[in-house]
Amino acid sequence: MIEKKISEYLENAHEIFLPGVSLDVVILGYSENAIRVLLLKLKEYNLWALPGGFIAKNEDVDAATHKIVKERTGLEKLYFNQFHLFGKTGRNASFLQESSHAAKLSADARNWLNQRFVTVGYFALVRIDQVVPQPDILSEACDWLPVDQLPATILDHHEIVNTAIGHVRRQLNYFPVGLNLLPERFTISELQRLYECILNQKMDRGNFQRKILKLDILVRLEKLKTGGAHKAPYLYRFDRDKYQHKIQHGIGFI
């Protein structure tokens, strides 16, 4: 059944999709003190790949991205950004060509797959706890893997992930990513650990607290009931209105 779907998908691709352009999304989340990327484990290969796909002939590239991320994560409201086009020669869907499905395809379909592809890189920031990872028809598994310990991937997906991280890191100055990566309610320490993870450097506790609160985009909630042997920290959430207003006028955090 699935097999048939794959064959159908590949057979019809050349009629439905733009030729030569694909799309890969670096879906980033944060859990257990690590920035993680959602990767798919391909059937028939011991390789991982970014979620991605093709762009329908009558579809905006942004819309195609939204659709892909929604399919893999189940999320509807998304923060995502295009960050780079990867256009080296020699990029193609080689891993599909060698698959067991390729043999059965028509010449048109095979030619379409064999052509060179440029790929548009997007990154998306999501709350890991809200995501139910969903493999696509070409993959057998779907998992959150820490970005600093990537497994073997197809093509240049390693480079795509690293470029994405660089962009997120630079965005941190203008854009408080916590809103998209943390659960609705969180403590300042949790936010600090996220920042330390992204920037890969320790920060002073007291100064971080003052600095982030002075941005005036957080709302303090009731105290956290924790089991820890220490003072219970406050919970905060983002004030979406103030947040929207601030990012338009630019914040300098770092």
List interacting residues with DNA (CB under 7 A): 187-189, 204-207, 209-211, 223, 227-234, 252
- Could you tell me if 122 and 24 are in contact, meaning their C-beta atoms sit under 8 angstroms apart? yes
* Nearer to DNA (CB atom), residue 90 or residue 227: 227
Query: Which part of the chain contacts its own copies (CB under 8 A), choosing from 37-45, 80-88, 199-207, 221-229?
Result: 80-88
Residue 187, helix vs strand vs coil: coil
- Residue list 117-146, contact with its own copies (CB under 8 A): 118, 120
Smallest gap from residue 144 Cβ to its own copies (A): 27
Smallest gap from residue 179 Cβ to DNA (A): 18
Asked if 197 interacts with its own copies (CB under 8 A), we say: no
- Residue list 155-174, contact with its own copies (CB under 8 A): 170, 174
Q: Could you say which of its own copies, DNA, none residue 151 binds, taking C-beta under 5 to 8 angstroms by partner kind?
A: none
User: Out of 16, 85, 141, 232, which residue is the one contacting its own copies (CB under 8 A)?
Assistant: 85
Asked if 61 interacts with its own copies (CB under 8 A), we say: yes
* Rounded (to 5) percent helix, strand, coil in the chain: 40, 30, 35
Q: Could you say which of DNA, its own copies, none residue 88 binds, taking C-beta under 5 to 8 angstroms by partner kind?
A: its own copies
* Nearer to its own copies (CB atom), residue 18 or residue 203: 18
Measured torsion, CA atoms of residues 168, 239, 76, 175, in degrees rounded to the nearest 10:
-10
Q: Could you say which of DNA, its own copies, none residue 16 binds, taking C-beta under 5 to 8 angstroms by partner kind?
A: none
Residue with tokens 């990327």: 37
Q: Could you tell me which of 96, 127, 91 has the C-alpha nearest to residue 110?
A: 96
Beta strand 118-125 pairing with 17-31: parallel
Smallest gap from residue 156 Cβ to its own copies (A): 12
Smallest gap from residue 251 Cβ to DNA (A): 10
For 70-84, b/e burial (b = at least 16 CB within 10 A) is eebbebeebebbebb
Q: Could you tell me which of 199, 191, 206 has the C-alpha nearest to residue 172?
A: 199
* Largest CA-CA distance found in the chain, in angstroms, rounded: 68
- Could you tell me if 232 and 224 are in contact, meaning their C-beta atoms sit under 8 angstroms apart? yes
The alpha carbons of the chain give a radius of gyration, in whole angstroms, of 21
* Nearer to DNA (CB atom), residue 75 or residue 188: 188
Site residues (vs its own copies, CB under 8 A):
18-21, 55, 57-62, 82, 84-85, 87-89, 116, 118, 120, 170, 174
